[in-house]
Amino acid sequence: MQKDEFLKKIFTILKELLITDNLSKTINFTLSEIGAITGVDRVYIFENSIKNGEILTSQKYEWTKNHITAEIDNQELQNLNYKNIFQDMYDKLSNNSYYEVIIKNLAKKERIMLEEQNIKSMLEIPIFVDRRWFGFIGFDDCVNERIWSNDDKAILSTLALAIAGAMESEKRKQELVKLNLNLEKQIQIETKKSRDKDILLFQQSKYTQMGELLSMIAHEWRQPLNILSIVMQSFTLKYQSNEKISSKDVGELEKSAMQQINFMSQTIDNFRNFFKSNNKKEYFKLPEIIIGLHTLVDAQLNNFKIKLQCICNNKDNRVLGYKNELIQVILNLIVNSRDAFVERNIKQKEIVVKLEIEDKYLKIVIRDNAGGIDKKIQDKLFNPYFSTKDTNQGTSLDLYMIKSIIENSMKGKITIKNITKNREIYGTQVEIYVPIVEIYVPI
């Protein structure tokens, strides 16, 4: 063969091995190209494995000339133990040396097995992948005996190195794919853990807010219960003093008592409706939520001497989302303001909840004069699980979860900032933007 042509073909093969994205296909191409340029009858690659402490080898790839019998399906060439037959081959290849032989010069046991494959001479060159003996590439002459020149063996050794490099690259790709799959699986696991944690925190917050509302109901009930008690005591005193009780007196008693009982019943209905489980999106009007919350929380806030002002000028615009989640968000923000007042000695306490239209959004503004947010933590407010409260203050929705609800459940956005007066921070303003539904489509 012409050396220049040989080298040119080798360079083409090396290039293919370097850029391949299909190793098996490229190796088969390599064997056919090198077989054609060298004129050998058979080219193949064997891969080693270890079983019971013994090194075995199996044929994985093969190219043959048209008239030469292929041995790729020869079971005797699978899991072949070197030491049982080819000890000399094992010693040389495992030490990174060539193994070249004329078959008629071998011992009988080796010679018979190779002659059955019609081999006259062969050359084996070791392949090392990641410094581990992977196997070898072999070249059989089945018609004529051949003695390879040192130059040819050096060039074919370069080919073996290129094949090893391609195998190392493929191994890295497979490791990377496996790593990515493991990472994706781990991310899914961690995401599920995070989601489960969010759900748990959301439920805990819901129970905490139910406790808040029960406390608010207790404040709502205090006055009607006092009135009911006075009415009943008055009726009892009249009876005990033998004062005449007319049907008119009984009617007024019944009317007054029923007014108070109906009021308390309505309070319970409001509580039940606000926390009715509904996992589906729905169309609803924001003013109804804000007015309803005002009714529920006003009495308790009055107990803390906090004035709650609700301003809803836009009563007909609808939004689409998870109503109960938005209720929890607004209630949570009102409770946060209340807690801030409790911590600080502020004389005139006020929370304003205002509904405005801005572009295509309904904007909910929740503003207080409770002293604002420490500048040191402003950048952390929306971080996962960050809270300005101690753990003994109960479990409320942190701003990260509130932001998640507004962005994901309501497709809106939320901002929070300090508000100033005479260049001094005096309170906090939260702004929630929820898209207005322009076309109402029943769901």
DSSP 261-305: HHHHHHHHHHHHHHT----S-EEEEHHHHHHHHHHHHHHHHHHTT
DSSP state of 75: G
Residue 423: phi and psi, rounded to 5, are 65, 10
Instruction: Kindly report the number of other CB atoms within 10 A of residue 160's CB atom.
Output: 20
Q: Which long-range contacts (CB under 8 A, 24 or more apart) does 27-35 make?
A: 27/61, 27/163, 27/166, 28/61, 28/63, 30/159, 30/163, 31/61, 31/62, 31/63, 32/63, 33/9, 34/9, 34/10, 34/156, 34/159, 35/63, 35/64, 35/65
Give the separation between CA 262 and CA 258, rounded to whole angstroms: 6
- Percent pLDDT > 90 in the chain is 31
The dihedral over CA atoms of 55, 60, 64, 67, expressed in degrees to the nearest 10, equals: 90
CB 192 within 8 A of CB 273: no
172 lies in the same domain as 282? no
Which secondary-structure segment (H or E) carries 66? none
Which of 154, 177, 200 is the last residue in one of the domains? 177
Residues 6+ apart with CB under 8 A from 217: 267, 268, 271, 296
Residue 246 lies in a domain: no
Residue 409: phi and psi, rounded to 5, are -85, -30
Residue 195 lies in a domain: no
Mean pLDDT of 219-238: 66
Identify the top-confidence range among 50-59, 306-315, 384-393. 50-59
Mean pLDDT of 144-164: 89
Between these two residues, 24 and 442, which has the higher pLDDT value?
24
Per-residue pLDDT, 392: 42
Give the separation between CA 214 and CA 211, rounded to whole angstroms: 5
137 lies in the same domain as 15? yes
pLDDT of 1 above 60? no
CB 30 within 8 A of CB 13: yes
Cα angle 196, 202, 207; round to 5: 130
Mean pLDDT of 350-377: 90
Give the separation between CA 390 and CA 381, rounded to whole angstroms: 15
Would you say how long the chain is, in residues?
A: 443
Q: Count of domains in the chain?
A: 2
| 433 SS3 class | strand
Residue 223 lies in a domain: no
Residue 101 lies in a domain: yes
pLDDT of 275 above 60? no
Per-residue pLDDT, 124: 96
Distance from the Cα of residue 312 to its chain's centroid: 39
Residue 168 lies in a domain: yes
Cα distances from 308 to residues 33, 277, 314, 331, 364, in angstroms, run 86, 27, 19, 12, 15
Q: Which of 65-69, 212-216, 238-242, 380-384 has the lowest mean pLDDT?
A: 212-216
Mean pLDDT of 396-425: 85
Q: In what order do the strands lie in the sheet with 42-51?
A: 80-81, 54-64, 42-51, 132-141, 121-129, 99-102
Report the CATH number at residue 53: 3.30.450.40
Residues 6+ apart with CB under 8 A from 62: 31, 42, 43, 44, 45, 70, 71, 72
162 lies in the same domain as 286? no
CB 340 within 8 A of CB 306: no
pLDDT of 443 above 70? no
Report the CATH number at residue 414: 3.30.565.10
Per-residue pLDDT, 143: 93
Place 176 in a pLDDT band, splitting at 50, 70 and 90: confident
Give the separation between CA 347 and CA 370, rounded to whole angstroms: 10
Range of the domain at 12: 3-177
Which of 177, 200, 232 is the last residue in one of the domains? 177
Which tokens belong to 210?
């139910």
Instruction: Kindly report the number of other CB atoms within 10 A of residue 234's CB atom.
Output: 13
| 50 SS3 class | strand
Residue 319 lies in a domain: yes
Per-residue pLDDT, 9: 77
Which of 139, 160, 177 is the last residue in one of the domains? 177
pTM: 0.46
CB 47 within 8 A of CB 135: yes
pLDDT of 61 above 90? yes
Tell me the per-residue pLDDT of 109-148, one tens digit each, with 9 for 90 and over: 889 989 999 999 999 999 998 889 999 999 999 999 999 9
Cα distances from 30 to residues 138, 153, 171, in angstroms, run 13, 16, 19
Residue 290 lies in a domain: yes
DSSP state of 35: H
14 lies in the same domain as 154? yes
Identify the top-confidence range among 13-17, 68-72, 313-317, 324-328. 68-72
Residue 107 lies in a domain: yes
Taking the CA atoms of 291, 275, 217 and 300 in sequence, report the sign of the dihedral they define.
negative
